[in-house]
Amino acid sequence: MATSDRRYDEPIARLVEYVYHYEVTSDLAILRARHALMDALGCALETLQQSPECRALVGPYTPGLVASYGFKLPGTCHQLDPVKGAFDLATLIRFLDHNDAYPGAEWGHPSDNLGAILAVSDWLSRTGATSQPLTVKEVLIAMIKAYEIQGCYQVRNAFNKVGLDHTLLVKIASTAVVAWLMGLTEEQAAVALSHAWADGHPLRIFRQSPNAGPRKGWAAGDAAMRAVHLCLLARAGQPGIPSALSEPSWGFLAVSFGGKELELPRPFKSRVMEEVFFKLMAAEGHGISAVQAAMTLAESLASRGIDPATQISRIDIRTHEAAMRIIDKQGALTNAADRDHCMRYMVSVVLLKNAVIEADDYHDTSVWARDPRVEALRQRIQMVEDPQFTHDYHHRRTAASGLTVILADGQHLNEVVVEYPIGHPMHEDTLAKVRAKFQRNMEGMFTAEETKRVIDAIHQDRMPVHRLVDLLGR
């Protein structure tokens, strides 16, 4: 692939080859993609119902402005241009930290890409910009390929270790599949991808104490809208940057990745969608195993009449390195974004309420955010990395945590270890629970009959995308 006799960097050419020429034949990938689509849409509707902060971010830049034939944002009356639509949907999907995830050297959330995919597909289908309206099947194929790109790069490349946010991969993956959905030539797709790699990439600072804040909820939206914008620029005839990664002084690898090469664990196919982890509780993914273990302990403590606030002297947590790096917070927690990335907070709340943690429990207005018992219990928690858990996280796709409670009288309760948390693909009931989660998220805004029509539409491969999206308007 060349422009003006210059060849594009191999990673760019490889992405174009995969997106434009790989045929998805995995029935399992298609099955799970349908559930991933349901799950992501449900997360967006959940956010609309629960987060005034996020609701304030969505809608046209200019109040009252309607983009005729634009993307109809699910759960709202907004009709938006595809760039803002990509931002809004990806932000709604991601904001409550309840959408799917994929582990590796980097942790990320592949359904973040649906913001760009669905906004562009609906817009194109609605405007008749393609010879035939884009279909649900094409959305599923785009999702599978975006998941694969993001997930494969996450397995061995720790962008967080060079201070970059993982949403740069949302920009790369979304750019690749949106170029295909728009019908750009392979040359134009390479142009858009070269600019995606050459972009300034977000620092991870907004996910880490003392600067953790709500930007982590809209960072994926920012990446999705940029992907759409870059594809529009390529369609308009902008030239590319063939050595965007490899240029020795100014390329991405030299400037932003410490001079290292990007690694891929295997050729791009459909495995990431087949293995993606669905988040069935509102907890940061690395902490779900600890939350499950805490639930078991909370039930045991309650059955024995033990008050966690007064009768626990210490809680020891063994976990993997990624959890230590991302959600081991010991200082003050100043906002919801801080709390939902703190394993100590999650465990403390579960033990005190003897129930699973909910999205509302992280808000500033939550009784738990103001309960001094939570802070007191946080201070009694000790977290350490278990090297075997770290090894298994990378090689067996576990996300293990083990919790031991030591009571004030010196008694040690048996350690509770969870290796494969709820929502992991190895659990046979995961997809059924994903459907149940979707139906719960629909209940607040849609009737049972409306929900059934949406599920039926997601299972109709030839359904024009805009017909599906129409069913989700309010």
117 and 235 share a domain?
A: yes
Residue 419 has pLDDT above 90, yes or no: yes
Q: Please report the DSSP string for 139-175 in residue order.
A: HHHHHHHHHHHHHHHHHH--GGGGTB-TTHHHHHHHH
DSSP string of 12-38, one letter each residue: HHHHHHHHHHPPP--HHHHHHHHHHHH
Quick check: is 429 in a domain? no
User: At 297, which CATH number?
Assistant: 3.30.1330.120
299 shares its domain with 255: no
Q: What percent of the chain has pLDDT over 90?
A: 88
Verify that 141 and 246 share a domain, yes or no: yes
Please check whether residue 16 lies inside any domain of the structure: yes
pLDDT averaged over the chain? 95
Residue 424 in any domain: the answer is no
Torsion of CA 218, 80, 193, 23, to 10 degrees: 100
Alpha-carbon dihedral sign for residues 10, 15, 18, 19: negative
Residues 321 and 343 in one domain: yes
Secondary structure of residue 216 in the 3-state scheme: helix
Q: Are residues 77 and 198 in the same domain?
A: yes
Same domain, 181 and 94: yes
1 pLDDT more than 70: no
Q: What is the CATH number of the domain that holds 71?
A: 1.10.4100.10
Q: What is the mean pLDDT of residues 18-26?
A: 98
Residue 4 has pLDDT above 50, yes or no: no
Residues 271 and 317 in one domain: no
In a domain, 130, yes or no: yes
Same domain, 154 and 120: yes
Domain assignment of residue 459, yes or no: no
Q: How many domains does the chain have?
A: 2
Q: Assess if residue 430 is contained within a domain.
A: no
Q: What is the pLDDT of residue 3?
A: 45
- Whether 253 and 157 map to the same domain: the answer is yes
Cβ-based neighbours of 158, under 8 Å, separated by 6 or more: 105, 106
Going by pLDDT thresholds of 50, 70 and 90, the confidence category of residue 5 is low
In this structure, is residue 233 part of a structural domain?
yes
* Mean pLDDT, residues 330-354 taken together: 93
Q: Domain end: 275, 299, 328, which one?
A: 275
Query: Are 29 and 83 part of one and the same domain?
Result: yes
Average pLDDT over residues 381-402: 94
pLDDT at 387: 96
The predicted model gives 346-360 an average pLDDT of: 95
Quote the domain boundaries for residue 306.
Answer: 285-418
Chain segment 63-104, per-residue pLDDT in tens = 889 899 999 999 999 999 999 999 999 999 999 989 999 988
Question: Is there a domain that residue 465 lies in?
Answer: no
Looking at residue 64, its pLDDT comes to 87
Q: Is there a single domain that holds both residue 268 and residue 311?
A: no
In this prediction the pTM is: 0.91
Mean pLDDT confidence for 164-187: 98
Indicate if 201 and 129 belong to the same structural domain. yes
